[in-house]
Amino acid sequence: MSHDTYELKAEAREKVGKGSAREVRRNGRVPAVIYGDKQPPLAISLPYKELFYKIHGGGFMTTIATIDVDGKKFEVLPKDYQLDPVRDFPMHVDFLRIGKDSVVTVAIPVHFINEEKSPGIKRGGTLNVVRHEVEFTVPAHAIPDFITVDLAGTDIGDSMHISAVTLPAGVKPVISDRDFTIATIASSSAMKSEAEGEAPEAGAEAETE
């Protein structure tokens, strides 16, 4: 994990519920809850501006944060958040407490490298991304920023599966019962049109079967 950790100062909330949450927002803060690690949930509020920039700055869901609640510090990982559907304002955030040996489930982005070394893409094929993110169980203190899929040597019709990805220690896909596809190299629409033009009878037969 290369994301820099950060700290947010929070205030404990005595009241919960929709009315209380609206009042918190009117005061320029965002209601949130810290839960997990076999401890009771803790209702808090956070400064709107700082939280807005963290959420929209990238890596929010995979970066451990420290939340200072009236002088008591909690190490947490964001688990969910709600945004105003029109204005993208943060409306609520759920944080998971992180212990020394915590294992968490997170969606990690997929990065692709060596497109210029793919014979299929050079011949006009296109990279068809099936999964832009993959869910993994990972040690909370070792969350990778992304996983890397190497496209070198791939050709049209090839599929890149999770088994071809080198994963860091302790990082395991949530889907464990099959070797699922992350991306494929597909024929471009122009190549398909050419192929269809060459064999119209095959298409006609398929339609009448």
Instruction: Please tell me which residue, 200 or 118, carries the higher pLDDT value.
Output: 118
- DSSP label of 59: -
Q: Residue 184: its pLDDT value, please?
A: 97
Q: How many CB atoms lie within 10 A of CB 189?
A: 9
The CATH number of 104-196, from 3.40.50.2300, 2.60.40.1730, 3.40.228.10, 2.170.120.20, is 2.170.120.20
Cβ atoms of residues 143 and 108 within 8 Å? yes
Residue with tokens 């999770």: 162
Contacts of 114 (CB under 8 A, 6+ apart): 150, 151, 152
Give me the residue spans of the domains in the chain.
Answer: 6-99, 104-196
Residue with tokens 């939280």: 51
Instruction: Please tell me which residue, 2 or 182, carries the higher pLDDT value.
Output: 182
Q: Say whether 104-196 and 6-99 share the same fold.
A: no
- Burial (CB < 10 A; 0-12, 13-18, 19+), residue 141, is middle
* Percent of residues, the chain, with pLDDT higher than 90: 75
Backbone angles phi, psi at 207, to 5 degrees: -70, -30
| pLDDT for residue 59 is more than 70 | yes
| pLDDT for residue 196 is more than 80 | no
Determine the Cα–Cα distance for residues 174 and 13; give it in Å rounded to an integer.
Answer: 35
Instruction: Tell me the per-residue pLDDT of 156-189, one tens digit each, with 9 for 90 and over.
Output: 999 999 999 999 999 999 999 999 999 999 997 6
| pTM (predicted TM-score) | 0.77
Instruction: Tell me the per-residue pLDDT of 71-91, one tens digit each, with 9 for 90 and over.
Output: 999 999 999 999 999 988 999
| pLDDT for residue 32 is more than 60 | yes
Q: Residue 1: its pLDDT value, please?
A: 47
Q: Residue 192: its pLDDT value, please?
A: 57
- Distances from the Cα of 130 to the Cαs of 2, 59, 167, 190, in angstroms? 26, 21, 19, 21
**What dihedral do alpha carbons 139, 142, 146, 147 form, nearest 10°?**
-70
Domain spanning 6-99, CATH architecture = Beta Barrel (2.40)
